[in-house]
Amino acid sequence: MPRVRRCRYQGCHAFAMMPNYYCAKHIAHEAEYQAQREKYRQRHTTRATTWHYNHVTRYRNSVKSEQNKFYHSREWQSLRALVLQRDFSLCKYCRINPGNIVDHIVPIEWDQSEMKNIDNLVTCCRDCHAKKTRWEQDYYGTGLHNSLKDVPAITDTELINKLMNARDGK
């Protein structure tokens, strides 16, 4: 006896012959459904892709490994809480959106000594953090495939906001 399952078409209770998911009446939807499943399967990470990301990007050298260790420490958690409280959880770049990301004004990849300096930390929203990261890659040369540039540090958040929005054409 062949194996069967219920048709996946909305409201249809007919049987579909395995390995199909749709009955003979709705078999036209099978290819679309299979494509959707394949897209979902490829989008979700596997253990191997997570391992690869961790070893190629996150822990690519001893400095990055130490930075990652710092972000999992109690010291960082208390610094983060203090900054969020000090800034009233409001983004210091756009001054509009609530923020839950604590960002280094001068990136620690460019200046390690500023890692634990509370005056180098501000609250920012997700959108401003993404813009600032792109701006830092251009200005400071931070990031995976970039080399650090010898430029003056910019610590004024209003100036950084203008520069990162000018970069995006706003």
Same domain, 92 and 33: no
Residue with tokens 């249809």: 12
CA distance 158 to 9: 55
Tell me the CA end-to-end span of the chain in Å, nearest whole number.
66
Domain that holds residue 21: 14-43
Report d(CA 61, CA 69) in Å as an integer. Answer: 12
Give the tens place of pLDDT for each residue, 115-157.
Answer: 999 999 999 999 999 999 999 999 998 887 778 888 989 899 8
- Asked whether residue 58 is domain-assigned, the answer is no
Contacts within 8 Å (CB) and 24+ apart, 66-74: 67/108, 67/109, 67/115, 70/115
The answer to whether residue 156 is domain-embedded is: yes
Please give the Cα distance from 88 to 163 (Å, whole number): 24
Residues 132 and 164: beta-carbon distance below 8 Å:
yes
Residue 54 lies in a domain: no
Question: Would you give per-residue pLDDT tens digits along the chain (170 residues)?
Answer: 789 999 999 999 999 999 999 999 999 999 999 999 988 887 776 788 888 888 887 888 888 888 889 999 999 999 999 999 999 999 999 999 999 999 999 998 888 888 999 999 999 999 999 999 999 999 998 887 778 888 989 899 899 999 988 876 65
The structural domain count of the chain equals: 2
Let me know if residue 136 belongs to a domain.
yes
